[in-house]
Structure 1
């Protein structure tokens, strides 16, 4: 089980006045305990409130649904890694993807991948959750943006590279595998990165070709 106290305190998806840290910790710990005991599908907001010894009105004020509690947990689980080493885009991408997949697999003690899948499934019918997920994704991909910018500075990618599209392209394969519960094994990540970079560099070459 994840130790909520060791997760980053930066993630916060609520609005308005800041909620009590003690209440937030109690709610998140209750949710994680229930997740471990009965699974996501069986969790109810009433069960979380009872386990956390929190009033239901307080719970619903900050988290409209259990998916919003899950998103709070996702936001606190950060990819821990040093800034890009600068050796190569490939090395930086393999390191980044390995850590992201490890986070999704639950190496932090929290089944982040399971929570992500449920949040995206519920976001189809919850516009507020969908917006919060988009914001969380932008924050999480900040390091990937740094990696790609470093590659442009080294000349591995052209200066006119569309970084937003490059990030979408780089994450599309691992995210698809996450959503279909087929996360790549460690030895598959390097191949996945190689094929992704082939797509990025070949697209750049086509843009620079005469007559295109």
Structure 2
């Protein structure tokens, strides 16, 4: 019997997440997904690997998709944020590049798994939709700041702009074409900017 098998089960502290147990469960979920694939992923397997109770996992994460989204979010590159370079073109370039870089390797595999589950499971779709709504709200601030600087027209919908750009990155993620050149990023950003920039006075 392995050391993991003889170790005591991790103790939960009820509805409040125990940081050590939370990290163990997230690490176990990532390992189970990467070793067994989406078809072999289950809460039971995660519970065994993390030495945690299934009720604890379900109390903290109501679905597999919610757990996988938390794994994804916790493993995102620490340096990824919503840029504020004072110039809308550079902000949007950094936004697209940051998404593509974040989805390289393990993070991309985890996020693809969440998207795949959302195609056939209402709970997964709800979790993904809520997550993406929050991301759109945050990324839309890039355009809101550009509007405040007078770079982007006031009638432009901020969240729609970043959704268009993230859709480009999504397409590359789902078809495993994340090796995007700087020239391609420039072309995508400039195409979008052409339709939203404010016209010079006069």
Give the TM bin, normalised by the shorter chain. 0.7 to 0.9
Give secondary structure in 1 for the equivalent of 2:195. Answer: helix
Q: Tell me what 1:202 maps to.
A: 195
1:1-212 map, 5 Å: 17-78=15-76, 80-81=79-80, 83-86=83-86, 88-106=87-105, 111-185=106-180, 188-202=181-195
What is the TM-score with the length of structure 1 in the denominator?
Answer: 0.72
Q: CA deviation at 1:50?
A: 0.8
Q: CA deviation at 1:154?
A: 3.0
**Residues 203, 90 of structure 1: CA spacing in aligned structure 2 closer, same or farther, 3 A cutoff?**
closer
**Residues 56, 120 of structure 1: CA spacing in aligned structure 2 closer, same or farther, 3 A cutoff?**
same
Is the 1:78–1:140 contact (alpha carbons within 8 Å) kept by the matching residues of 2? Answer: no
**More moved, 62-71 vs 168-177:** 62-71
Stretches of 4+ moved more than 4 A in 1? none
Give the whole-Å Cα distance in 2 for the aligned partners of 1:165 and 1:143: 12
Is the 1:30–1:52 contact (alpha carbons within 8 Å) kept by the matching residues of 2? Answer: yes
Is the 1:89–1:147 contact (alpha carbons within 8 Å) kept by the matching residues of 2? Answer: yes
Q: Any unmatched runs of 5+ in structure 2?
A: 1-13
Corresponding pairs, count: 184
Q: CA deviation at 1:132?
A: 2.1
What is the TM-score with the length of structure 2 in the denominator?
Answer: 0.76
**Residues 25, 157 of structure 1: CA spacing in aligned structure 2 closer, same or farther, 3 A cutoff?**
same
Q: Any unmatched runs of 5+ in structure 1?
A: 1-15, 206-212
Give secondary structure in 1 for the equivalent of 2:152. Answer: coil
Structure 1 vs Structure 2 CA RMSD = 2.8
Q: CA deviation at 1:89?
A: 1.7
Q: Deviations over 1:176-210 (max 9, x none)?
A: 1112222233xx244234334323423678xxxxx
